[in-house]
Amino acid sequence: MTRAIPNVLTIAGSDSGGGAGIQADLKTFSALGVYGASVITALTAQNTHGVRAIHAPDSAFVTAQLDAVFEDIRIDAVKIGMLANADIVRAVAAALRRYRPAHIVLDTVMLSKNGHALLAPDAVAALREELLPLAGLVTPNLPEAAALVGANGQAADEAAMRQHGEALRSLGARAVLMKGGHLGGSESPDWLIDETGSHRLGAARVDVKQTHGTGCTLSAAIAALITQRPSWLDAVTDAKAYLVGALRESTRLQVGTGIGPLHH
């Protein structure tokens, strides 16, 4: 018998420009051979120049979407992206405690590249207390990790990445992928910190202007691949390779005049 195609759920915000959020997640799922379902936590009016406005539904409507999906569809992995506010964080956490999917990837989305808040600042505590302990893998960049662990004034270097990764594990995250894409330099190193130790995942920086939706794409690729790989290290390694390909292919797109999206 052939193995069934995995079903992966993204819980995230919509990007009307199609480059990030739900749209990037579903394109990534298709490219990596899994079926995608989507629970939408917020609508954004957005293009390649940035987010103009956000409309978040009542948390009860997010719960209704989650119940509709989980009561019918076997979900093999979940990716969590933009959550907008603390009520939605709590609604998502409650549903995940009820339905207990096997794999949860938490992308701790806080700010858009043009500085629009995608998570209310007062929701960071709810994210830390309610969702971190449920996640199999958390994928923060350094500023997001610092906000979650309550650190400030830290150097932006690999030592700080490892330190924050350990701190997030002591707050209940089982594995942490600290993303170093913002560090600058010719390499774009990430650190995976899990129960087996710290793993440095180097990758040459892909020097393109089109980077909108990079974090969304990476976390969606990890969720798609953890259903097909034996470990987070394998899923993350192959997801990074997928991301590099999508970044390279982005130069073929003509989408907007700002920071454009990736090609999946």
Active-site residue set: 179, 211, 213-216
User: In the complex with ligand PLP, which residue's Cβ is closer, 17 or 136?
Assistant: 17
Tell me the C-alpha distance between 74 and 240, whole Å: 26
Q: Which neighbouring-strand residues pair with 50?
A: 47
Shortest Cβ distance from residue 113 to ligand PLP (Å)? 3
Residues in touch with ligand PLP (CB under 6 A)? 12-13, 15, 20-21, 44, 46, 81-82, 109, 112-113, 118, 212-213, 215-216
**Please, what is the angle between helix 21-31 and helix 214-226, to 10°?**
40
Which residue from 210, 243, 220, 185 is spatially nearest to 13, judged by alpha carbons?
220
Min. distance of Cβ 74 from ligand PLP in angstroms? 25
Q: Give the DSSP H or E segment for 6.
A: none
Of all residues in this chain, which one has the CB nearest to ligand PLP in the complex?
21
Q: Tell me the C-alpha distance between 46 and 31, whole Å.
A: 24
Please say which residue, 13 or 165, places its beta carbon nearer to ligand PLP.
13
Q: Which of 76, 39, 37 is nearest to 59 (CA)?
A: 39
The smaller minimum CB distance to ligand PLP, of residues 145 and 163, is found at 145
Q: If phi over 0 gives left and psi between -120 and 50 gives alpha, with beta otherwise, what is residue 185?
A: left
Tokens in use for 155?
């150097």
Tell me the closest approach of the beta carbon of residue 46 to ligand PLP, in angstroms. Answer: 6
Minimum Å gap between C-beta 48 and ligand PLP is 9
Which of 48, 228 has the CB closer to ligand PLP?
48
Query: Which of helix, strand or coil describes residue 256?
Result: coil
